[in-house]
Structure 1
């Protein structure tokens, strides 16, 4: 029997003393299936001293739990090498045997013993999350919850390039927790609302006031999830909050949390991900974290950004106020509506982001539920490991490396002030194209100059052979070609159709992964890290940007700023077109990214605001304000930027003065002035006294539980001492805004936030405080 199945989850178990790969998915009819493969065995490689390969193989072959030890040939950093492939009985024995083998005489190194068993299966058979073709399937009588059919295969599947969306059932989950002491504790604080919504339009709101005991509510939640039987379960920040809280709260209540296909609780897996066997638990926040265009990451702002739900049309409650809305029966209905809006926002966001998650999983090779929480480096490394296996290249071990630096990209000092009619020239995928053009890869680095034809990196002088293609260049070529094919195929479908959306997300995932290749080169945690590789890429990058700068100056254009792969120059259509043409002749693509009608630089690098020719406001660098700024300060900075660009400096100054006036007259809420900061270590480990640490200690004195990783919200009050730390109090202790030290917020929050932009125009603190009689025109230089 043959069957096409979309892979939702993959894991393994043991049947007797044999490992069993378990693949959960849906077929083309949307039926849930599980395919079992019992024919794969774990293995690792041993590098013996030269000439001792057979001897080492014989010794290892006699060890308990070793099935066989064969001498074979592989490559390591491009060089042919003889190794011993050690095949063992079950995955749990790999680590034990690795340690024993290391002590054998004439063994130099053990490789690939740290690759998880089901990942090993995926790499060896080039299985990527997505559609798979299974052959020779045999039905087996093995009952698994919610699964229509279980099959056994003796042939690993092959990946298919099908441009169709699988018929997945999906749902969203969101919990609200009673939090009168700030950060809730699952051993103490109950779950008060569980909100559930699915792709069929069903919504369930389970509230603690409808149950005699919290255990009953958790049991009802499990019943709903079992009934809906989702293939995909969405959450928002669920890896860090909802899932661990549910698990730990259930433990505290002695409830068996049955969420997986096997009736087991979620378990923390790799990358901090909480796995639910048989389902893909996707934390959408993991994907939003990577999106630099999304400035505010809270669910309400993200849902509005993606057009799921407007903030003005939903209930918004500060997280730290949830317990107050629960305690007040007159407000409790608002909290329930808030939970409903959250879960519907999560569901809508999941529907939008799922195609991208699916394509990113397919390109990287990581399972669908792991690709989000995995770091960019981990995603790239998995992709490289698939390619390395095909090329016969061994994966080096991860090693602890001391921190080291090397000369990076060019970042020019900006010309502070206001500029008009500025073009931004952008090198498209500069670093990937450099790596591809000059065959830069760990396995192409030339250590002996007699090794044949090679490219020599400018400044640093490292050499890379011209042929054959190395590991990185080979992979990049495939990514670029696959993206071109996806973009060409998109033209065959109407924009917005399922096919078009899938292809668009595929080309985006391919672009992101290609651009991440250079970052992997410089990642000290990379298996294939070689400093010379990363250093050579940036050296060629500096050469290209300097070349573009020289071309601009030769044509009489003023260079305003430059950063890595972008150059800001005065815009002259013909001269810019000539520069683009010349650089394209060198084999690199340059395009006009944006044209600013008005652009303002401070003296700081990577920080500017601009008004595009299309009338859009760009704020770059300012959104990364200090972690000790209040929401009020952040809002002031954004509004000042917009007023300076769209209206005038005068209007921006008037606005800041109005904010200061509101503060002086206590026309604000506590929420406006809360400063949030995370404890990155245990309280007792802090040597320097910081405001958030003092606030945390004050919480603990009142019986609050505060741990490493908790975010502390505090405000600065008046009349409590001269030092700032003496005036830092948890916001929950403040009942009246008149306790707030408004002078601190005026002088240390609002004015500095505004001046980061306004000081470019000569505006100073005195002007914002109204202590000067000068006209605003006096502030221009």
Structure 2
């Protein structure tokens, strides 16, 4: 039978592990497959000249009745490209692998123990080639419904699985939820503060329930009932792994409700790998994990992200300052606004999920990480799980993770730009530059020539950084990348015959994007200190080849008479001359062996003298801003708005005077206190615990003031603060924005240190002075003002 795989977990039955595969069959019935055949194992790496038979006897003696060692298999495998003899040790209970690992490592014949830290369910996915969010064929025996599981039927796996290339997705049931919590005393605490509203959204409809008093037991019972009756395959929230789920779980304990809302009866959600909350049999997806990777939105509140993606505009929904939610619940006249606010959050979460999840499904399909984990995991871990799948099929051992300090190395080339406004600028982009360098020069830790290793000059590629890589055999990373890039070409070829409105086109488009993301992340992975296949020398060699490639391309462009404006990592900015650009592309591909194409064309492009800082107007009229305050999160919204508007006026209308008049008007509004406080908030992340800060920057001072008033603030939180009137250091005047009244705000600070500097980044180039922006005709205004 064919099944669409949602998730894989396991449980113990009679002291033996059983793999649980939560799935849909071809008739879209929700089913469970049990595979009782799979057993946990790890590899023992022998020291040079170790006595193999003696070691096998010692390993046998370690066997314990609770989880006996059931087999010892001698194998030849590769570790970082070198052939090794290993013993595959198989036991029964997955948790016992860790205990055996520590005992085995102490044996004198043992050099290392490998692959003992791979989770059992992921081990099964890797070894069987199973793809979450994909189809597989199993030989099964139907067991029928079982009381322990909320599925239509249960099967026992007799043979398989065999992954299938079927690009049709069944219709999954998705449910979004959002909770609102009583927060009169600052940060709500589940042992004290009740949930006051819950909203649920599915297929465009939304329902909610408000508690009538501070006993929220009925609310949680309603949530559980709705979850079980609706029986979603995918549950989505926004920041739900960090807030909504943990709060619901703790609060349900307080009021005495067992929150077993999954498909395994009696099991409540728990926090699993990468901080995601696991709901048995359902894919719990936190949309915030996707939003974190949306570079363009700096303060990633739900309403900001929904507004940016146009799924729900801010001016079309109720907005309640978070610290005032309790007031809307306490006031019967305002409760309906609270209900609508809660429903808008659930509905916008659902609509964002519809945008984001198709991409997540394809990343899950490629990496093997189930959908509820794939975006919660960092980019490095996503690449690593993909590489583990490659390692299994190529007989490579997975290295252990080693704790390392970050080691810096020389990065990509970034040229100083030609400052000013330029018209008709083409951006030429090398296609997958770093992956293609890794392929061309066979870069990898397994082909790196180590100090003292003898090689013939014609057997190696030598990087500009001095590192050498053997030409044969193909590097592990090369095999991985060639597979990915060929897959992307195949997918894009298939897409050519399909309409963009075709569901298959959309599925394939998300898959090719996921392939591109994984391929491009290989280079960064090599220099990631947590990587199992870490290789700083490899990363440094790749950037050195990249620098050489860009410099050669610039030289060719100039030889053809093209004016080069800027160069950054894998891109060239040139004044667009169609014929010359086509010749440049042809010459680069022929002489340097790398593909380069036009990525975008700007009608107008403005550069200061600073690197990685420019703004342009694209052919379709969109404004593209890189590196200015307008796209940074640590400036107030008013400064960002001013800068974006100046850029728009200067680029679209070419009228500097009009831009000055606009800035004058904003400054006057600030002086009159007419700018909303929300636009004056400066957001900064706490990178450390408060007690680790030696100095006290403004956001730390604001965080401490919030804590004094009962709010919980911890490492990793974004702190929003405003500057109030007074004297002394800035920190002494930085207050949490929700504790401040409008009349307390120091509007002169925002004029002098936010709006003016942001405006001058652009207008200073055109000879505009700060005095003129403030509407002063002479230079005496400072003294008069005092």
TM, length-normalised to structure 2: 0.94
Deviations 1:624-660 (A, max 9, x none): 7665422222222222222221222222211111111
Residue 187 (str. 1) matches residue 194 (str. 2): no
Residues 446, 319 of structure 1: alpha-carbon distance in 2 compared, 3 angstrom cutoff? same
Q: Counterparts in 2 of 1:253-292, with a 5 A limit? A: 253-262=255-264, 263-292=266-295
Residues 693, 133 of structure 1: alpha-carbon distance in 2 compared, 3 angstrom cutoff? closer
Worse overlay, 753-762 or 101-110: 753-762
- 1:639 corresponds in structure 2 to 645
* Distance in 1 between residues matched to 2:102 and 2:35, nearest whole Å: 28
Residue 105 (structure 1) shift: 1.3
Residue 334 (str. 1) matches residue 333 (str. 2): no
- 2:27 corresponds in structure 1 to 29
Worse overlay, 640-649 or 679-688: 679-688
CA contact 1:281–1:369 (8 Å) conserved in 2: yes
Residues 260, 248 of structure 1: alpha-carbon distance in 2 compared, 3 angstrom cutoff? same
Residue 212 (structure 1) shift: 7.0
Residue 219 (str. 1) matches residue 217 (str. 2): no
Q: Counterparts in 2 of 1:31-70, with a 5 A limit? A: 31-52=29-50, 53-64=52-63, 65-70=68-73
- 2:2 corresponds in structure 1 to 4
CA contact 1:417–1:602 (8 Å) conserved in 2: yes
- 1:777 corresponds in structure 2 to none
* Distance in 1 between residues matched to 2:519 and 2:24, nearest whole Å: 30
Residue 268 (structure 1) shift: 0.9
| SS of the residue 2:597 aligns to | strand
| SS of the residue 2:499 aligns to | coil
Worse overlay, 135-144 or 359-368: 135-144
Worse overlay, 703-712 or 542-551: 703-712
CA contact 2:442–2:471 (8 Å) conserved in 1: yes
CA contact 1:54–1:71 (8 Å) conserved in 2: no
* Distance in 2 between residues matched to 1:166 and 1:314, nearest whole Å: 32
CA contact 1:457–1:539 (8 Å) conserved in 2: no
Residues 247, 525 of structure 1: alpha-carbon distance in 2 compared, 3 angstrom cutoff? same
CA contact 2:630–2:644 (8 Å) conserved in 1: no
- 2:782 corresponds in structure 1 to none
Residue 560 (structure 1) shift: 1.4
- 2:751 corresponds in structure 1 to 746
Aligned mate of 1:16, from 11, 14, 18: 14
Residues 298, 699 of structure 1: alpha-carbon distance in 2 compared, 3 angstrom cutoff? closer
| SS of the residue 1:204 aligns to | strand
Deviations 1:70-93 (A, max 9, x none): 221100111111011111121110
Residue 51 (structure 1) shift: 2.9
Residue 450 (structure 1) shift: 3.1
| SS of the residue 1:473 aligns to | helix
* Distance in 1 between residues matched to 2:738 and 2:604, nearest whole Å: 44
CA contact 1:37–1:156 (8 Å) conserved in 2: no
- 1:313 corresponds in structure 2 to 316
- 1:161 corresponds in structure 2 to 165
Residues 676, 595 of structure 1: alpha-carbon distance in 2 compared, 3 angstrom cutoff? closer
- 2:231 corresponds in structure 1 to 229
Residues 491, 657 of structure 1: alpha-carbon distance in 2 compared, 3 angstrom cutoff? same
Aligned mate of 1:298, from 301, 306, 310: 301
Worse overlay, 693-702 or 534-543: 693-702
CA contact 1:232–1:280 (8 Å) conserved in 2: yes
- 2:694 corresponds in structure 1 to 687
Residue 714 (structure 1) shift: 2.7
| SS of the residue 1:292 aligns to | coil
Residues 493, 574 of structure 1: alpha-carbon distance in 2 compared, 3 angstrom cutoff? closer
Residue 125 (structure 1) shift: 1.2
* Distance in 2 between residues matched to 1:123 and 1:348, nearest whole Å: 32
Residues 464, 705 of structure 1: alpha-carbon distance in 2 compared, 3 angstrom cutoff? closer
Worse overlay, 297-306 or 528-537: 297-306
Worse overlay, 623-632 or 80-89: 623-632
Q: Counterparts in 2 of 1:533-612, with a 5 A limit? A: 533-585=538-590, 586-612=592-618
| SS of the residue 2:643 aligns to | helix
Worse overlay, 571-580 or 174-183: 174-183
Worse overlay, 255-264 or 582-591: 255-264
- 1:462 corresponds in structure 2 to 467
* Distance in 2 between residues matched to 1:692 and 1:281, nearest whole Å: 33
CA contact 1:139–1:151 (8 Å) conserved in 2: yes
Worse overlay, 94-103 or 402-411: 402-411
Deviations 1:332-368 (A, max 9, x none): 2122112112211111222232221111111112111
| SS of the residue 1:545 aligns to | helix
* Distance in 2 between residues matched to 1:373 and 1:239, nearest whole Å: 9
* Distance in 2 between residues matched to 1:471 and 1:731, nearest whole Å: 52
* Distance in 1 between residues matched to 2:299 and 2:732, nearest whole Å: 31
Aligned mate of 1:620, from 598, 620, 626: 626
CA contact 1:4–1:131 (8 Å) conserved in 2: no
Worse overlay, 710-719 or 216-225: 710-719
* Distance in 2 between residues matched to 1:132 and 1:606, nearest whole Å: 44
Residue 416 (structure 1) shift: 2.1
CA contact 2:630–2:640 (8 Å) conserved in 1: no
- 1:172 corresponds in structure 2 to 176
Q: How many residues align?
A: 768
* Distance in 1 between residues matched to 2:191 and 2:685, nearest whole Å: 21
Residue 108 (structure 1) shift: 1.0
Residue 523 (structure 1) shift: 1.1
CA contact 2:11–2:20 (8 Å) conserved in 1: yes
Residue 292 (structure 1) shift: 2.9
CA contact 1:454–1:463 (8 Å) conserved in 2: no
CA contact 2:175–2:350 (8 Å) conserved in 1: yes
Residues 179, 656 of structure 1: alpha-carbon distance in 2 compared, 3 angstrom cutoff? farther
- 1:779 corresponds in structure 2 to none
Aligned mate of 1:476, from 451, 461, 481: 481
- 1:129 corresponds in structure 2 to 132
Residue 293 (structure 1) shift: 4.7
- 1:654 corresponds in structure 2 to 661
Worse overlay, 63-72 or 23-32: 63-72
Residue 722 (structure 1) shift: 2.4
CA contact 1:174–1:343 (8 Å) conserved in 2: yes
Residue 742 (structure 1) shift: 1.0
Residue 713 (structure 1) shift: 3.1
Aligned mate of 1:713, from 707, 710, 720: 720
CA contact 2:137–2:163 (8 Å) conserved in 1: no
Quote the RMSD (CA, aligned, Å): 2.1
Q: Can you give the 5+ residue segments of structure 1 that lack an aligned partner in the other structure? A: 775-781
| SS of the residue 1:154 aligns to | strand
* Distance in 2 between residues matched to 1:466 and 1:11, nearest whole Å: 42
Residue 107 (str. 1) matches residue 107 (str. 2): no
* Distance in 1 between residues matched to 2:425 and 2:508, nearest whole Å: 34
Residues 626, 655 of structure 1: alpha-carbon distance in 2 compared, 3 angstrom cutoff? same
Aligned mate of 2:433, from 425, 430, 434: 430
Residue 181 (structure 1) shift: 4.2
Deviations 1:417-436 (A, max 9, x none): 22222211110111111111
Residue 548 (structure 1) shift: 0.4
Aligned mate of 1:673, from 680, 683, 689: 680
Worse overlay, 161-170 or 722-731: 722-731
Aligned mate of 1:385, from 388, 394, 414: 388
Aligned mate of 1:248, from 239, 247, 250: 250
Residues 538, 368 of structure 1: alpha-carbon distance in 2 compared, 3 angstrom cutoff? same
Residue 583 (structure 1) shift: 1.0
Residues 270, 623 of structure 1: alpha-carbon distance in 2 compared, 3 angstrom cutoff? farther
Residue 367 (str. 1) matches residue 370 (str. 2): yes
Residue 322 (structure 1) shift: 2.4
CA contact 1:457–1:540 (8 Å) conserved in 2: no
